[in-house]
Amino acid sequence: MDIFNKPYELENQFLLRLPVEHAEKLKEILLAGNLKDRLAIQVQDDNRHGTVKLDGEVLTSKIFDLPCVIESLKTLDMKTFYKTADLSQIMICTPPEENAEQQALDKYGGPKDKKFLWAHGITPPLKNVRKRRFRKTARKKYIDSPDIEKEVKRLLKADMEAVSVR
């Protein structure tokens, strides 16, 4: 087996947000310690859509960009923490019946680049953080360049004629 010709996969981390009943089920599975065959996450080629299978139930999901970067930490002894990754995405899972309604709304959504921007943070105080804390992008102001060139030439001519310049 030639390991150098195989396509490699970078390690990616993201937050997983499940509906309440599924989150409680996942918590029980994690505490029991038998996660291997009960949870499967598949991400499509566009890296924006996916499916999550939890105990045979299929949830559809979308991956959104968070408004800011969050550090992911790991500990073994609750005293020393190790940084494992910078998180910048969140996967929101919904049951398939809710997803059909959402797809109808997405057809008439905004621009594609803004379609996958998550407007909120991960805690309640950061609701609508993109609107409240980040300024809108400034529009470019176009100025007539011939007027600017004339002014620069006039200033340079005035400098040449000056007796002394400080």
Instruction: Report domain extents, the chain.
Output: 15-135
Q: What is the pLDDT of residue 107?
A: 47
Instruction: Please check the confidence at residue 123 and state whether its pLDDT lies above 70.
Output: yes
Whether 55 contacts 48, CB under 8 Å: no
Instruction: Supply the mean pLDDT for the chain.
Output: 81
Instruction: Please check the confidence at residue 45 and state whether its pLDDT lies above 60.
Output: yes
CA distance readout (Å), 27 to 31, 51, 67: 6, 19, 27
Distance from C-alpha of 27 to C-alpha of 33, rounded to nearest angstrom:
10
Instruction: Please check the confidence at residue 47 and state whether its pLDDT lies above 90.
Output: no
Residue at token pair 């992911």: 72
Q: Given pLDDT bands bounded at 50, 70 and 90, which one contains residue 102?
A: low
Instruction: Please check the confidence at residue 156 and state whether its pLDDT lies above 80.
Output: yes
Least confident of 51-60, 106-115, 128-137, 145-154: 106-115
| pTM of the predicted protein model | 0.65
Q: What is the pLDDT of residue 80?
A: 95
Distance from C-alpha of 19 to C-alpha of 88, rounded to nearest angstrom:
21
Summarize pLDDT for 59-76 with one digit per residue, the tens.
Answer: 999 999 888 888 999 999
What's the whole-number mean pLDDT along residues 32-48?
A: 87
